[in-house]
Structure 1
Amino acid sequence: MKSFKTSLVLAALAATMQMSAVSAQTAGPKIAVQAITQVTANMPQYSAVDQPLLRDGMAKATNGRVQVTLAAWPERNVNGPEVLRLVRSGQVDIAAAPLTTVSGDVPMLDGIDLAGMNSDINQARKVADAMKPVANKELERLGIKLVATYPFSGQMLFCRKPIASLADLKGMKVRINGPSSGDLVKAMGGQPVSLAFGEVYTALERGTVDCGITGSGSGNSVKWPEVTTHLYAMPLSWSTSGYFVNLAWWNKLDPAVRAEFEKTFAAIEDAQWKLGVESTADGVACNVGRADGCKLATLVKKPMIEVKPQPNEALAVKKDLTETVLPAWVKRCGDRCGTVYNEVIAPITGIKYVAGK
């Protein structure tokens, strides 16, 4: 009986604490939050995660106290590289972008998802998790905090010319999605071309570029299969991305509200990484016309030709990473980045950085 009474007391105490937390979240003035997240609004990363969990979820969890005004990049004329500056200046409270896209401001970020480094999405998450504290040491000097990471679908080659292997990229103009993918393309004999995501469709259509690198699902969402014929179905990276917040704004939040944001971003992070797995296979299926595997993206009317990697190509990519991509990143980022890589990332990837290569 005594044990039963103790259990009742503990249960009542827990309920009281929970009610107090909810009361703290819902009491007080309204909090208006500006957030800019995905490249387009028709991606599942936006419609299936950001809208229900960040925009609607925060409003529900705080009984309407927190109102998140959510927008995709085009709605605010955002191209990507300026995302950290928007957060730093306080023009937005929360923003999301691929780490490589904003690595011009913080080169350390690019090391989290170097082209050719993470062929497996589970490894990509392990690297992102391990590097988050390191990234935040860099970002906090700018008044920014990385609160969650997430991937897109596997970054693949969409080509308007026939390719049978990576060797066929020699001499081709390839739209890259960041500095390290440029290094990888160069190592393969291709010509890297930098273009904003929204400009690639027209460039492929006109033949300004021969191929473009993006996620299997992302390319589908912006209709790249209309202007390309071949899909090289091996992930070269994951476009690992981050949700960033203005640190001063974050620290000034009511502690209970900040705790709710932390809980929400943890849920978003898990949902987005799960979606990365699903959308990779789904994007390939939709692009090559396999209706039974196409649930998230749009089944194309004119299926692309799926090019599967040759048995030796994974080793070739690993060699390019070791000899070209990794040293080029350290050169851009500084010697400390090589040290960080060996201490934090190499134990996960099994690939060491050797100075002077």
Structure 2
Amino acid sequence: MSHSKWLKPLLSLALAASVSTIAVAEDLPKAKLNVVGSWSNLSQYKDFEYPFWTKEIPEKSNGAITAQIKGLNELGLKGGEIGRLMQQGVIQFASIPPGYLASDDPRNEVIDLAGLSPDIETARKVTEAYRPVLEKLYAEKYDAKLLGVWPFSSQVLYCKAPITGLKDLAGKKVRTGNRTLTDFVGALGGTGVTLTFAEVVQALQTGVVDCAITGTLSGYSAKWYEVSDYLYTLPVGWSQVVHSVSNKAWDKLDPKTQAFLQKEIQGLEDRIWIAADKETAEGIACNTGNAPCPYGDPAKMQAVEFSDADRDALHKLLEDVVVKSWSQRCGPACSADFNETVGPVVGITLP
């Protein structure tokens, strides 16, 4: 799939940022940073986050800025506690899917409401539209500064039993990573089971769940193909990640360092958005063997293609169930924010 219309501006921005960085890096003061990345066994961490902080930042700052990064799984974190730890200043920089913080505030769910973004272009538009609301939320709720938002590969269904479409989720227990996916599964007659990413393989293996939702490449990296046989490729979300920094840590940095980091993280953000689209197709290929896999030996899952009817059904569930359920638990102010930001992008207006 070609997306040259939106890829070219991003590549131009990245080039401009790299040129301006050279001049800034010459006189940066020394700084040592601690970063909590996403899951260390996934490609986003291995291919982007880890080299960005351990190699790119030291090199581009001429050695002035160094960073230590660990995946949240390496630190024994589940994700939901990161907002509180950042607020307390225990964590400096961190990457976390905002859906993991939904119990803190439902506004965290908006950019990845189930079925909201059927493609990567819509996901980016939704994210940019809602970004000012997230910036305010993170400042007020977590005493943190939002620096970037980026996606994983498309979130799809991995199932042990045969599945031909959305109707087959009726009666099934499905691992969901956030509340909106639980609403989506429930509306189809299934039961949403909230599990952390690390718990899924065992849950599929032991029958605690029949299906599970994650990214096409994330599931391959975590070897979900060993405990599931069918890959239903309808995108139900993108599991966007918010990268933010505690204001306690940020305020201690020199303004020149702050400007340098903001530009570099913007470049990282653009690169991950470009890669997420590519990795969606690569993840399907790696799980099914339908095309060459650039990450290792392909698995032999059966790819289940989605129909236009299922795509339409997903959008109807979004409008009739998912968005309304979110609105009820978030309140009128949230609905107003949605109508001003995301609503025009997806053609939905809340009362």
Q: What TM-score do you get using the length of structure 1 for normalisation? A: 0.89
Tell which structure's C-alpha radius of gyration is larger: 1
Superposed CA offset, 1:28-71 (max 9, x none): xx3221101112x2322112111222332221122222111011
Q: Which residue of 2 aligns with 1:339?
A: 336
What is the identity, as a one-letter code, of the residue corresponding to 1:50? E
Secondary structure of the residue aligned to 1:69 is strand
What is the identity, as a one-letter code, of the residue corresponding to 2:331? G
- Partner Cα separation in structure 2 for residue 87 and residue 146 of structure 1: 12
Instruction: Give the C-alpha shift of residue 115 in structure 1.
Output: 0.4
Instruction: Give the C-alpha shift of residue 114 in structure 1.
Output: 0.4
- Bigger mean CA offset, 243-252 vs 257-266: 243-252
Q: Does 1:300 align with 2:308?
A: no
Distance 1:261 1:169, change over 3 A: same
Secondary structure of the residue aligned to 2:245 is strand
Instruction: Give the C-alpha shift of residue 146 in structure 1.
Output: 1.3
- Partner Cα separation in structure 1 for residue 341 and residue 108 of structure 2: 13
Q: Which residue of 1 aligns with 2:257?
A: 257
Instruction: Give the C-alpha shift of residue 232 in structure 1.
Output: 0.4
- Partner Cα separation in structure 2 for residue 18 and residue 199 of structure 1: 41
- Partner Cα separation in structure 2 for residue 215 and residue 18 of structure 1: 33
What is the identity, as a one-letter code, of the residue corresponding to 1:329? W
Q: What TM-score do you get using the length of structure 2 for normalisation? A: 0.91
Distance 1:312 1:58, change over 3 A: same
Q: Within 5 A, what are the aligned runs for 1:1-357? A: 21-25=24-28, 27=29, 30-39=30-39, 41-141=40-140, 142-292=142-292, 294-295=293-294, 297-301=295-299, 303-353=300-350, 355=351
What's the Cα RMSD here? 1.6
- Partner Cα separation in structure 2 for residue 104 and residue 68 of structure 1: 30
What is the identity, as a one-letter code, of the residue corresponding to 2:276? G
Q: Could you list the runs of 5+ residues in structure 1 that have no partner in the other structure?
A: 1-16
- Partner Cα separation in structure 2 for residue 298 and residue 228 of structure 1: 18
- Bigger mean CA offset, 315-324 vs 43-52: 43-52
What is the identity, as a one-letter code, of the residue corresponding to 2:326? W
- Partner Cα separation in structure 1 for residue 156 and residue 185 of structure 2: 12
Aligned residues: 331
Q: Could you list the runs of 5+ residues in structure 2 that have no partner in the other structure?
A: 1-19
- Partner Cα separation in structure 1 for residue 21 and residue 130 of structure 2: 33
- Partner Cα separation in structure 2 for residue 158 and residue 298 of structure 1: 19
Distance 1:19 1:291, change over 3 A: closer
Task: Check the 8 A contact 2:31/2:64 in 1, yes or no.
Answer: yes
Instruction: Give the C-alpha shift of residue 250 in structure 1.
Output: 1.3
- Partner Cα separation in structure 2 for residue 60 and residue 332 of structure 1: 46
What is the identity, as a one-letter code, of the residue corresponding to 2:25? V
Secondary structure of the residue aligned to 1:299 is coil
Superposed CA offset, 1:60-88 (max 9, x none): 12222211101111211111111212222
Superposed CA offset, 1:75-120 (max 9, x none): 1111111121222211121000111112222321201110011011
Task: List, as ranges, runs of 4+ consecutive aligned residues in structure 1 with deviation greater than 4 Å.
Answer: 17-20
Task: Check the 8 A contact 1:287/1:299 in 2, yes or no.
Answer: no
- Partner Cα separation in structure 1 for residue 235 and residue 296 of structure 2: 20
- Bigger mean CA offset, 81-90 vs 204-213: 81-90
Task: Check the 8 A contact 1:220/1:298 in 2, yes or no.
Answer: no
Instruction: Give the C-alpha shift of residue 18 in structure 1.
Output: 8.4
Q: Percent identity?
A: 35
What is the identity, as a one-letter code, of the residue corresponding to 1:346? G
Secondary structure of the residue aligned to 1:24 is coil
- Partner Cα separation in structure 2 for residue 181 and residue 20 of structure 1: 45
- Partner Cα separation in structure 2 for residue 279 and residue 21 of structure 1: 32
Instruction: Give the C-alpha shift of residue 19 in structure 1.
Output: 8.2
Secondary structure of the residue aligned to 2:323 is helix
Task: Check the 8 A contact 1:94/1:243 in 2, yes or no.
Answer: yes
Superposed CA offset, 1:266-294 (max 9, x none): 111011101110110000011011242x2
Distance 1:23 1:186, change over 3 A: same
Instruction: Give the C-alpha shift of residue 24 in structure 1.
Output: 2.9
Instruction: Give the C-alpha shift of residue 20 in structure 1.
Output: 7.2
